[in-house]
Chain A
Amino acid sequence: DAKTTQPNSMESNEEEPVHLPCNHSTISGTDYIHWYRQLPSQGPEYVIHGLTSNVNNRMASLAIAEDRKSSTLILHRATLRDAAVYYCILREETSGSRLTFGEGTQLTVNP
């Protein structure tokens, strides 16, 4: 599985936008970029995924670099409930839905 690199931790203030970066320089053409988050004492929760184009949903936006070697998860207005570990994961199309998690980014949201 291709590897992703994320900062160990980030901080944000409530109601401000948050940009969570992810580097994936060895991404292949068939790898999808997935983001999951994990709140304390819960299982991971799907956030968003994309292949080449930027994606938006009710939770977040995903901005994918033109060369696809990096991406950014954007939370438009952070709330205290967004404090979680955010995982950036590459999933090869042919490997089905198996996900390989790294250690993720611990996001702290300050009131």
Chain B
Amino acid sequence: GAGVSQTPSNKVTEKGKYVELRCDPISGHTALYWYRQSLGQGPEFLIYFQGTGAADDSGLPNDRFFAVRPEGSVSTLKIQRTERGDSAVYLCASSLGFRAGELFFGEGSRLTVL
């Protein structure tokens, strides 16, 4: 079956530009997560949705980062006024619900800010 799908797989942008990263979770998964991973580090939590609402956005680094999930399925991570320090792999994961034991991750979107 289809896993978590993330697009684009690679994005190169210039400092100051706006970027959108898309995540298509596994069908029927109500929980969706965004993580960010810098080279040589473990993934860092950004935000978590249960259904359409953000249940925990405590990991978003600042107000340039925003995520939505308007219909409780596809989610978009939006980054305004990108900075070089935003360069990382952005990972999306989904799970069956709030306390599901297993998260399923996508392959990530690699963002490079020049």
Contacts and interface: CB of A to CB of B under 8 A. Distances in A.
Interface of A: 32, 34, 36, 41-46, 49, 85, 87, 93, 96-104
Interface of B: 4, 31, 33, 35, 40-45, 48, 50, 55-56, 91, 93, 95, 97-108
B107 A42 contact: yes
A101 B107 contact: no
B103 A46 contact: yes
Contact of B98 (A36, A42, A97, A104): A97
A43 B91 contact: yes
Nearest to A102: B42
A16 to B, nearest CB: 26
Nearest to A42: B107
B90 to A, nearest CB: 10
A101 B43 contact: yes
